[in-house]
Structure 1
Amino acid sequence: MESNADLTLIRCLADGRFHSGAELGEALGISRAAIWKRVQRLDQWGLVVESVRGKGYRLPRPLDLLDPPALERALAGRATLQFEPVTTSTNADALALAASGAPTPVVVTTECQSAGRGRRGRAWQSPFGANLYVSVLYELAGGFSALGGLSLAAGVAVAGALGRAAPDLRPGLKWPNDLLVDGAKLGGVLIELAGEMDGRVQVVVGVGLNVAMNDRQAGAIDQSWIDLQRACATPPSRTTLVGSVALALIDMLDRFAADGFAPFMAPFEALDLCRDQPVMLHAAEGARPAVARGVAEDGALRVEIDGETRTVHGGEVSLRLQ
């Protein structure tokens, strides 16, 4: 953001009630005319402010802002917290911490990403205060080859955290990194690595979850999506959710460091939405219809194509309607 005044303005408007230009100007120490210009700038963060003559300004609905001190307490000393209200990407921040030699684990979170990333170079929609954006930096031994199945284990951990935070939610997993509810995408996992090919590896596990996103904020999404506000009766607070997801990922990484993917294979199979379903396999050689047949011990996808079972380590799948 351009200045702390922008954040102050958002905090003033976060309750969803009308605030007069005079009230906002006094809070920010600027004129009423300057307030109007500053309000217009919030559009770049995915926030549209309503203006009504005689009433003032308000957001269409309240924002559930993160509470960093509460997050620190939730982490209970198990990780260092890095919070910036706005950043380019929590994964990029975590990789920068890895390059600087920061001790791990570190939990990185934010209200808004200006350049959020998904898999295969896609943009991840990251409007201010609407969703969850969190990355965990963790050091593992054994080199890159020991990390097979890590994105699947992360999906299991996030699904478990969601189930505990919102018991009426029934998320499923789509290989290799998507969380779905009722066939619509709720979130995803992005794994990025730094370090030595055969030695110590700094792993960044990034998670994005849709929490309370309006249609305008999701306008650039090219697939069916859902958020927690639509998917469950009583969504948890974003602060509670960040803490739950971060701790679940740290627990998963502790276990993965000792035992690899093996302990997560059965839990993944229980959540696997693709198994024995017709899918479209998207890989380097193009798209091909197939039938998913579960995952291998290293997390690779087993698929049946023309009656032959193959193992796929890269790419992604989409479910096909029968």
Structure 2
Amino acid sequence: MTIGDLIRLLSDGEFHSGEQLGEQLGVSRAAVWKQLRKLESLGIAMEAVKGQGYRLAEPLELLDGARIVAGLSREARGRLSRLFVEETLPSSNAFLRQRFEHGAGHGEVCLVEQQSAGRGRRGRTWTTPWGKSLMLSLGWRVEAGVAALEGLSLAVGVVLARALEHRGARPRLKWPNDVLLETPGGDFGKLAGILVEVTGDASGPCEVVIGMGINVELPEAFRCGLDQPVAAVRDQAPQVSRNDLAVDLLDGLLPLVAGFERQGFAAWQEAWNARHAFAEREIDILSGGQREAGIAEGVDASGNLLVNQAGRRRRLAGGEISVRVRP
């Protein structure tokens, strides 16, 4: 019995006794009770009524691999070699890197309900409640080397933004790899992060794993425990389905990675600049412990951020540079 098995039974909105759940799952009532306690520890709200049993306090949509594959376009389905849907993993990116180590990985996608060691840019942790986010990793083998992947994380941001727009949200992009939503107060909250990891030859075959974590729904109590403004897709698109969003993402991501060696970022430059959150705004540039000011312009055909500093144009690459908008 897994958490997912229990949630599937409880997600019909009806009350189920511990005895009924045990019979349906083929386990003891004690085992059911242990799993119910685990649901509560994961922040999944439960209702318990004496004489009636248990049910979820609110619906919870589980990721459904068969539904996702069935919804893909013919092109995307032809490029997908395998889809994994996992309940818990330390990291979906690490999962696919291990697949590459065993000779697989190319064209494979991993979705996971919750990560225990998810990472963002510069080693930061990425945490979300169980079943409330969309965490997705895609593996791809590239023949032309690392240089051919310049600007890839920004192009992925465009694909993600388009998928969100299709579902009714209005995202903006923050260089180099964040997706934001405007909050009711006019500020921006972080909606999603993108992490691209590359291993292999600088000028020959290499393997890339594209990971992303998207906040679909965030309880208020969870938001209060974070040290930065955050946002969720359902803030603007309350009826969005995680499975439908996964379909939209893969419909865009699989053709993107298949053609990126040939097209490069130049094909995505205009679309990224059209969604630039901080265009023409004053920003702080943090690099090597130093802080400088500038006016953000757009990105160039290589994905570098153009910044105006006292009339002098500067190009910023990624790495250890961080950009923050000035209040």
TM-score by length of 2: 0.89
The one of 311, 318, 322 equivalent to 2:324 is 318
Aligned-partner Cα distance in 2 for 1:90–1:16 = 30
Amino acid at match of 2:309: I
Change (3 A) 1:228 1:246: same
Match of 1:259 in 2: 263
Pairing of 1:148-159 with structure 2 (within 5 A): 148-159=150-161
Judged with a 3 Å threshold, the aligned counterparts in structure 2 of structure 1 residues 102 and 115 are, in CA distance, closer, same or farther, namely same
Q: Write the letter of the residue equivalent to 1:255.
A: G
Query: Of residues 162, 168, 192 in structure 1, which corresponds to 2:197?
Result: 192
Give the one of 11, 15, 38 matched to 1:14: 11
Match of 1:287 among 291, 313, 320: 291
In 1, distance between residues paired with 2:29 and 2:83? Answer: 37
Which residue among 245, 252, 276 is the counterpart of 1:248? 252
Confirm or deny: 8 A CA contact 2:64 2:85 kept in the other structure. no
C-alpha distance in 1, partners of 2:219/2:12? Answer: 17
Identical counterparts, % of pairs: 37
**Separation (CA, whole Å) in 1 of partners of 2:137 and 2:311:** 40
Spell out the pairing of 1:45-56 with structure 2 (5 A cutoff). Answer: 45-56=42-53
Which shifted more, 181-190 or 76-85? 76-85
Name structure 1 gaps, 5 residues minimum: none
Q: CA deviation at 1:52?
A: 3.2
**What displacement does 1:292 show?**
0.9
After TM superposition, the structure 1 stretch with the greater mean CA deviation from structure 2, 146-155 or 120-129, is 120-129
Cα drift, residue 310 of structure 1: 1.7
Confirm whether residue 76 of structure 1 aligns to residue 77 of structure 2.
yes
Q: Which runs of 5+ in 2 are unaligned?
A: 183-187
User: How many Å separate the matches in 2 of 1:15 and 1:284?
Assistant: 53
Cα distance in 1 for residues equivalent to 2:115 and 2:289 = 32
Alpha-carbon distance, 1:44 to partner: 4.6
| Matched residue type, 1:174 | K
Q: Does 1:169 align with 2:169?
A: yes
SS of the residue 1:40 aligns to: helix
Question: Following TM superposition, by how much is the alpha carbon of 1:20 offset from its aligned partner in structure 2, in angstroms?
Answer: 2.1
The CA deviation at 1:176 is 0.6
The Cα RMSD (Å) is 2.0
Deviation at 1:103, TM superposition (A): 5.4
Q: How many residues align?
A: 315
Q: Secondary structure at the match of 2:78?
A: coil
Q: Is the 8 A contact 2:45 2:58 kept in 1?
A: no
For 1:276, the aligned partner's letter is E
User: For the residues of structure 2 that align with 1:155 and 1:258, how far apart are their CA atoms?
Assistant: 19
Counterparts in 2 of 1:136-151, with a 5 A limit?
A: 136-151=138-153
**Matched residues in 2 for 1:103 and 1:122: separation?**
24
Identify which of 208, 213, 217 aligns with 1:208. Answer: 213
Indicate the larger mover: 224-233 or 46-55.
46-55
* Structure 2 match to 1:179: 179
Partners of 1:119 and 1:190 within 8 A in 2: yes
Residue 34 of structure 1 deviates from its aligned partner by: 4.1
CA distance in 2, matches of 1:179, 1:319: 14
**1 CA distance for matches of 2:54 and 2:284?**
47
- The aligned residue for residue 90 of structure 2 is 88
